[in-house]
Amino acid sequence: MDKKGKFIIVFLLMIGVFVYSAYVRIDQYNKWKEQRSIYFVENYPAMTTLDAYYWLRYAKEYDNGLYYKSDNDTLRYYPDSQPKKRPVPFLSFLIAKLSSFTNNNYYYAGLFLIPILASLFIIPFSLYFYYAGFPFGGIVGSFIGTFSYMYFVRSSMGRVDTDLLNIFFPTLTSLFIFFAAKYENIKKVYFYSALSGLSMLFFYWWYFHPGFTLIYFGVLLVVLFLEKKPKGLILKSAGLFILFSNPLYFFYGIFNLFGFIKNYFTISKENLIGFPNILQTITEAQHKPIKEVLEYIINSPYLSVLGLIIFIIFAALKWRKFLAIAPLFLLGLLAFKSSNRFVMFLAPFAGAGIGMIIDYVVEYVEKNFKKMKPLNIYLVTIAVVVLLCVGLGKLTAKEYVPKPSINPGIIKSFIEMNKKLEKGAIWSWWDYGYAIEDIVGFPVYHDGGSQGSPKTYFIAKSLITDKQSKLYRYISYFDNNGMNEIKEMIEDNKSALDIVKYVDSYKGLPKGNNYVLFTMDMISKFPAYNFIGSYNFNTKTSQKVVVAPLRCQKVEKGVFYCEGNKIDTNSGVINGKIPMKRFDISKDGGLVSSKNYPYERGYNAELILKGNTIFYLILCDDNFYNSNFNQMYLLGKYDKNLYDEVYNNFPFARVFKVKK
């Protein structure tokens, strides 16, 4: 079959994968509509990443002419604030522009972008492999890439975040560099060199990591040099790349690249002086075993390994053709060393390796069975590719339907807080920081982009300590001083212990409105707070904590049957052998009864009721029981000299105002 015929076949398969990729994500939204109470609250559809609210708020601000009115975002990292990105993030820009088609509902605009943006990488990836001589490798690789667990989860409905185009732009740049090296025509070399730089310009606008620009600049130079292009041509091509990628961003890339390496492979100064590493509590930043990493590609580590090995073999044999796309593959390999999120860059190559077998067989048949009609060969090949994708699809995550990142009851609470509370700063955990900034409209002490500072340690400690006065003191300190003094002490190489002692000695009062926010999700996250807040600077360890929120299936005469456990509140024994120290009943956030047992050791049990409905039965040790979090949020025991309860939508959210 001639080149035109082959291209048409590959093009149709590529469009088929693209359409199916978008369709599956649209179908997720249709399944959401079957459970509206879970996924929709007033005008707020669910988001499945907490970062979504960051981009959505900026889209609103940009669309309403507010984004450029100040250089700093005063809702973030209160009271220090954070500088705003310049220009407005590309994702926020797109949401703002699309919102005119969704009655200015930015949330729906964000959702409707997902199916298209998440599938875009399929086009340059398929084309790259087509021109590299492995067309069916590109098709299968695109299919596996879009539905592999890590990428599909990170680009599913509700995932309004930068991962949507984080494969697309590097792959597109690789394709342009490939073309720049491929063509002998000088004008085409210049044209594709300029396009590769322009692609990096848009990638910077999308992701704000100019280190990629520097890497691909180096790849362009190497590829052109290996293709023996004239030195003058290489220099002019390099100049065009720099010009179209923006020279300023290009030089930013030098510092950004070192920063990237530092973040993933070195220890920050805060950690060096003794503060715990916050990244250890963040799931996506954690390193996973090799088998688990491979299962994030295809739900068969052996097939994942097979695909990667085959790709490496073919890429090594045709190494010049795959040099331009090598940075993306190498980035994916970081999954075995660093954060598991890098798997999404690796998955398309594992799929491509499996598809390359088909390319090899087709080439062999065409050379050795010349009597066979080319059309018949390719019809059979198409059938094999489709069947292979169907079979492999069962080992991917394409049946996954994401759950909301925030419970609808909490979203409702945020909406009500915006309407009922006087504006003030929110002291809570960082997870919902972006959502609070967006929906409540209040500043937060830390959020998903500022949780790596020592401030997070103090917030964690304030939640787990048994002294409500310490919670008050920490809020007072940071409300008045922010991070200024602590930064100076870090630069002076003061130890973390010295810094904590200094903050503990603070005697001032809050100067502004401050609120302590507790939300339902914080129960299961308490071990993370405990890991950080109980960190011992001398032993480099954290104290243990036991907290087990259980759902109960049956209650009979004071005996609770919860997730395989038998909690007998008559005798004070768990599973017939583990003693209990006390049994508390909390209804709508207030302690209504407490029963003590004659055991010096054992667990505490808390029956948490919403009305007359059992919400949780919590088994916990004294560390959890005595914590500010438990006493104030679950039991409603708070120091009225320091706090006023100003909002209670128990168990979803509870807010205490800090007295001045």
Please tell me the distance from the alpha carbon of residue 120 to that of residue 196, in angstroms, as a whole number: 17
Amino acid occupying residue 204: Y
The pLDDT score that the predictor gives to residue 265 is 58
Per-residue buried b or exposed e for 86-101, using 16+ beta carbons within 10 Å of the residue's own CB: eebbbbbbbbbebbee
The pLDDT score that the predictor gives to residue 286 is 63
Q: Which two tokens stand for residue 380?
A: 């059979």
- pTM attached to this predicted model: 0.93
Which residues are CB-neighbours of 103 under 8 A, at least 6 positions away?
Answer: none
The tens digit of pLDDT for each residue in 529-586 reads 999 999 999 999 999 999 999 999 999 999 999 999 999 999 999 999 999 999 999 9
Structural Rg of the chain based on CA atoms: 28
Rounded alpha-carbon distances, angstroms, from residue 654 to 157, 185, 415, 624:
29, 67, 13, 18
One-character DSSP codes across 68-137: GG-SEETTSTTTT-EEPPSS--HHHHHHHHHGGGTTT-HHHHHHHHHHHHHHTTHHHHHHHHHHTT-HHH
Q: What backbone torsions phi and psi does residue 648 show, to the nearest 5 degrees?
A: -145, 105
The tens digit of pLDDT for each residue in 268-277 reads 555 556 788 7
The pLDDT score that the predictor gives to residue 267 is 52
Which residues are CB-neighbours of 647 under 8 A, at least 6 positions away?
Answer: 413, 416, 417, 420, 421, 653, 654, 655
Q: What backbone torsions phi and psi does residue 45 show, to the nearest 5 degrees?
A: -75, 160
Low-confidence ranges of the chain (pLDDT < 70): 1, 259-273, 279-286
Considering the segment(s) 414-512+522-533 as one domain, its CATH architecture is: 3-Layer(aba) Sandwich (3.40)
Q: Where are the domains of the chain?
A: 3-265+284-393, 414-512+522-533, 547-658
Q: Which two tokens stand for residue 484?
A: 């200024």
The pLDDT score that the predictor gives to residue 268 is 54
Cβ atoms of 611 and 601 closer than 8 Å: no
Per-residue buried b or exposed e for 308-345, using 16+ beta carbons within 10 Å of the residue's own CB: bebbeebbeeeeebbbbbbbbbebbebbbeebbbbbbb
Q: Where are the beta strands (DSSP E) in 557-602?
A: 559-562, 565-568, 573-574, 578-587, 590-596
For every residue of 338-376, which 3-state class applies, written as one string? CCHHHHHHHHHHHHHHHHHHHHHHHHHHHHHCCCCCHHH
Q: Where are the beta strands (DSSP E) in 395-446?
A: 425-427
